[in-house]
Amino acid sequence: MKTLIRNATILPMTGPEDMLHGSIMIEDHQIVAIGRESTNFKADRIIDAKGMIAMPGLVNAHTHLGMVYFRNYRDSSLNLQDWLEEIWKLEAHLVEQDLYIASLLGIGEMIQSGTTTFADMYFFQAETVKAALDAKIKANIGLTLFGDLKESKHRVATILPELQQMSGGSAIKIDIAPHAIYTCSDDTLRYAVEIAKQENSRFHIHASETIKEVEDSLATHKMSPIAYLASLGAFSVPNYLAHGVHLAAEDYPILQNKHTSVVHNPSSNCKLASGIAPIKKMADYKIQLALGTDGASSNNTLDMFQEMRLSAMLAAISTEKTILFSPYDILQMATIGGATALGRAAECGTLEVGKDADIILINTDKAHLTPLNNIYSALVFAAKSSDVDTVLCRGELLMQNRVLQTIDIAQVMKKTQTIWEQMKNRN
C-alpha cells in the first residue's frame, strides 16, 4: 500500500528550522520520502492536507486506561492518598472483561486527540494489549507489580508469557511496571529490575510524586525515592519515571543519564495538588523529558494538547518567568521525548525517511488558529485536540476527517456506560 499526503505544512520535529511545505510518501508502514512529490511514486491512496499541519503522532508516556470508568467521579478536594483510597475501593469491583472496553474507549479518545503511542500501567493487561492490537495503535503495556515478592513472582509467572505471546511480532512492547516505592516491597522492586534486565524490557514506575512519598522514603529508607530506586538498581535498566515532582538536589545527577526519562503529568499533579514538577531545572540538567496524561480519573481526559498547554503555563508561573520552555521544547516532550522514554526513538517521534508513518494532520482552518503566525506557539497555546483531523499509525489510517477507522466509538461509549452502571452495583 502506497499513501501520499500532499500539500501539507510539515513539522518533522527534527529541528525548529526544518519546517517545510510539501508531501510525505509512505510505503506500507514507513515514510519513504518527504518534500517534493516524486512522479515515480504511484500512490494507492492520496490524502490532500491543504491547510493542515503534518507532524509526528503524539506519545502519551504515562496513563492508566482502565481508570476511564472513574472520570469525573468524586474527585473534588482529594490529595493523592485520599484519592488512591477512594479509587482502590472502586478498583476492587473491576473484572477482567471490563478492561477491554475501557481500553478501547481510552484509545479512541487518544486517537481523536492525536496520540499514536501510549504507555499504560494497570490491571488485566491482556485486555489492554488486545484493545491496542484491535485499534492498531502502538503501546508499551506495563506488567504492573504491587506488594511482596511472592505476589510479584506469581504475577510475572502467570501474566508475562501471555502478554509476550499476544504482542509478539506487533508494535506492542511489554514493560515491567512496579506501581511505586510505597506499594511495592524492596524485594519486588529488585525483582522488577531483574526481570526487566532479563526480558530486555523497560522499567516504568511512579516516583517522587508527592511530599508525603518523599518524607516517608526519608523516614524509612533514609534517602529520597530516586536515591532509593538507584540503591535497588533501577537505573541499571532503561527506565521512565512518572511525575518527578519533588526532587532533591542529589536526585538530578541520578536522573541525568540517557537510559532514564521523567514523564511530566501536569494536569494530574495540579488536580491532586501534588505540586509542579521542575521541568526547567531537569532540562538544564539534560534530563530527558516526556509528557503524559496519567489516568482519566486524575486528569480527567487523555488529551495531550491540554497537557502541552498546561506544561508551558506551569513552567512559566512556577518560576515567574515567561516562556521558560519554548513551544518547540514542549512539542518535543510530547513527540520524540515520549518516543525516547518508551525505547522507540529509532522508530517514531519525528517524521524522517525510514521511520514509521506515525503522522497526525491538524486542521488550521479555525478561528482560534487565525492568523497562525508562529506555528509552534499555535500548536501549544491555541490548538485544540478536536483540530486533529487525520491520524496514521504505521501507515494505517486510525482516523480520517475526525472519523475513527478502527473503533466503533459509539458502541464502545454505550458499553462503557453499561459496565459502569453494573460496576457500581457489584459487591
Minimal distance, residue 84 CB to Zn ion, in Å: 10
Q: CB-based burial of residue 251 (10 Å sphere; 0-12 exposed, 13-18 middle, 19+ buried)?
A: buried
Q: Closer to Zn ion by CB, 294 or 358: give it.
A: 294
Range in contact with Zn ion (rule: CB under 5 A) among 43-51, 276-284, 289-297, 301-309: 289-297
Closest CA to 263 of 341, 182, 346: 341
Q: Closer to Zn ion by CB, 127 or 294: give it.
A: 294
Minimal distance, residue 11 CB to Zn ion, in Å: 29
Secondary element (H or E) of residue 361 = strand 359-363
Closest CA to 294 of 315, 282, 310: 310
Range in contact with Zn ion (rule: CB under 5 A) among 49-57, 88-96, 184-192, 291-299: 291-299
Range in contact with Zn ion (rule: CB under 5 A) among 183-191, 197-205, 221-229, 292-300: 292-300
Q: Closer to Zn ion by CB, 295 or 327: give it.
A: 295
What is the distance between the alpha carbons of residues 176 and 200, in angstroms, rounded to a whole number?
10
Range in contact with Zn ion (rule: CB under 5 A) among 71-79, 293-301, 304-312, 393-401: 293-301
Range in contact with Zn ion (rule: CB under 5 A) among 76-84, 174-182, 190-198, 290-298: 290-298
CB pairs under 8 A, 24+ apart, for 316-321?
A: 317/276, 318/276, 318/278, 318/280, 319/280
What is the distance between the alpha carbons of residues 271 and 279, in angstroms, rounded to a whole number?
18
What is the distance between the alpha carbons of residues 222 and 333, in angstroms, rounded to a whole number?
32
Site membership for Zn ion, residue 91 (CB under 5 A):
no
What is the distance between the alpha carbons of residues 173 and 245, in angstroms, rounded to a whole number?
27
Q: Closer to Zn ion by CB, 116 or 267: give it.
A: 267
Residue type, 13: M
Minimal distance, residue 206 CB to Zn ion, in Å: 5
Minimal distance, residue 283 CB to Zn ion, in Å: 22
Q: Residues for the chain: how many in total?
A: 427
Angular region, 142: left φ>0, alpha ψ -120 to 50, beta rest: beta
Task: Say how many CA atoms lie within 13 Å of 92 toward its Cβ.
Answer: 8
Site membership for Zn ion, residue 120 (CB under 5 A):
no
Q: What is the size of the binding site for Zn ion (CB under 5 A)? A: 1
Say how many Å lie between the first and final Cα of the chain, rounded.
51
Going from the C-alpha of 313 to that of each of 180, 287, 292, the distances in angstroms are 28, 20, 16
Q: Closer to Zn ion by CB, 98 or 294: give it.
A: 294
Minimal distance, residue 298 CB to Zn ion, in Å: 7
Minimal distance, residue 9 CB to Zn ion, in Å: 34
Closest CA to 242 of 219, 216, 261, 222: 261
Q: Are 183 and 146 in contact (CB under 8 A)?
A: yes
Residues 132-151 that bind Zn ion (CB under 5 A): none
Minimal distance, residue 267 CB to Zn ion, in Å: 11
Range in contact with Zn ion (rule: CB under 5 A) among 186-194, 218-226, 294-302, 324-332: 294-302
Residues 216-275 that bind Zn ion (CB under 5 A): none
Q: Closer to Zn ion by CB, 245 or 361: give it.
A: 245
DSSP 172: E
Minimal distance, residue 374 CB to Zn ion, in Å: 32
Residue nearest to Zn ion (CB): 294
Minimal distance, residue 411 CB to Zn ion, in Å: 28
Residue by residue, DSSP assigns 162-212 as HHHHHHTTSSEEEEEEE-BTTTB-HHHHHHHHHHHHHHT--EEEEES-SHH
Q: Closer to Zn ion by CB, 11 or 241: give it.
A: 241
Minimal distance, residue 180 CB to Zn ion, in Å: 9
Q: Closer to Zn ion by CB, 294 or 329: give it.
A: 294
Site membership for Zn ion, residue 294 (CB under 5 A):
yes
Residues that bind Zn ion (CB under 5 A): 294
